[in-house]
Structure formats: C-alpha cells, structure tokens
Amino acid sequence: MTHTDKLLIRPAKPDDAHLIAQVVAMAIGDEACLKDYCGNRYIDVLEEIARNENTQYSYRNALIAEKDNAVAGAIVGYNGADLMSLREGTFAIIKKHLGTTPALNAETEAGEFYLDSIAVLPDFRGLGIGNQLLSAMCRKAFLEGHKNIGLLVDFDNPKAEKLYHSVGFSRINPTTFFNHKMWHLQLKK
C-alpha cells in the first residue's frame, strides 16, 4: 500500500469489480467499441470479468486509488506473456453473454508487463492520481522482475501520452487496436 496526502493505492479486491469495470470502459472510451466487445450491458459484463481471477481485467491485476476514503480510480496491468490465457477467461465470459467472442490482435507479448487500462473518476481528475497509479503499477512490475512495461495510447489522446512520457515512456511503434490508431509506448528499467 502507498499513502500520499490522504491518497491510498492498494491492491484491488473482488468488491472493486464495479470500479474496475468503469475504469476499463473509460480507458476504451468508445461506446460503440464497448458494445461490440461486450454488448449493450458492457458494464455488467466487464464487472463479471473483473470479479473473476483469471481474466485480463481481474481484480488480481488491478490497483485501486482511494482519495479521502473514496474510490478515485484504478489501473490494470499484467504480464504480457499471460495475455492469451487471460483472454481465454475474458472471452469465455463475453461469449456467455453475446454468444460470440471478439476478434482482436494481441496488444502485448512476452517480455513486457502490459498496462491495460487506467482511469481516474471525473470528480478526482487533475489531482495527480493518474500519475500516482501509473507510478505504483510500474514500481510493482519492476519489483516483480519485469524489465519492460508497455501500453497503448490513442493517437487522438495527446494528454494521456504526455502523462506517460512524464513518467519515462517513449514511443516504440504505431499499431491499430479496437480500430483506433495507437502508439505502443514502453518504459524500460
């Protein structure tokens, strides 16, 4: 756990699944993509995914930020080598709800700890919480022995890219994910 001026960053618990679902939805950002990915009730589907242990958005892969005892945001990250096995659990839940699974290219790979989703709830933006969450997850990844931390950021989100650069991330290559042009950024130890 990390404390900074009444900010607590802690490992997520199953009861944090709804917040994690909100954060993943905010990180994806495009409601049409969310509906294609998880259906019209995408928050409910994402919450079920977050409540499970072996999925991409599992509470086990998340850190939660609390400001003055109120949940403020979250970050989700995992070993890139585990992507396909985590997708199995994620896609099984999606298939249960939609009858089909999405066709997505891999956003990460072995040799990289992947920061999948990060978001701060609107009432808590501008307080440096995103930076604290990002820094805490990077410390965690490096302590676990990872040498590279990667993420994708939308070409159309220069504010987020600026945050990532401020922590030390740099552009690796352009890619496309969820039909959006993205930059693959990476932080090396």
d(CA 188, CA 169): 8
Domain count within the chain: 1
d(CA 67, CA 182): 31
pLDDT for res 179: 81
How many residues are there in the chain?
A: 189
Domain that holds residue 102: 2-188
What CATH number did the domain enclosing 179 receive? Answer: 3.40.630.30
Q: Walk along the chain (189 residues) and give the pLDDT tens digit of each residue.
A: 555 568 999 999 999 999 999 999 999 888 888 998 899 999 999 999 999 999 999 999 999 999 999 999 999 999 999 999 999 999 999 999 999 998 888 999 999 999 999 999 999 999 999 999 999 999 999 999 999 999 999 999 998 999 899 999 999 999 998 888 999 999 998
Degrees to nearest 5, angle at CA 90 with 120 and 182: 55
With helix as H, strand as E and coil as C, how does 43-84 read?
HHHHHHHHHCCCCCCCHHHEEEEEECCEEEEEEEEEEHHHHH
pLDDT for res 149: 98
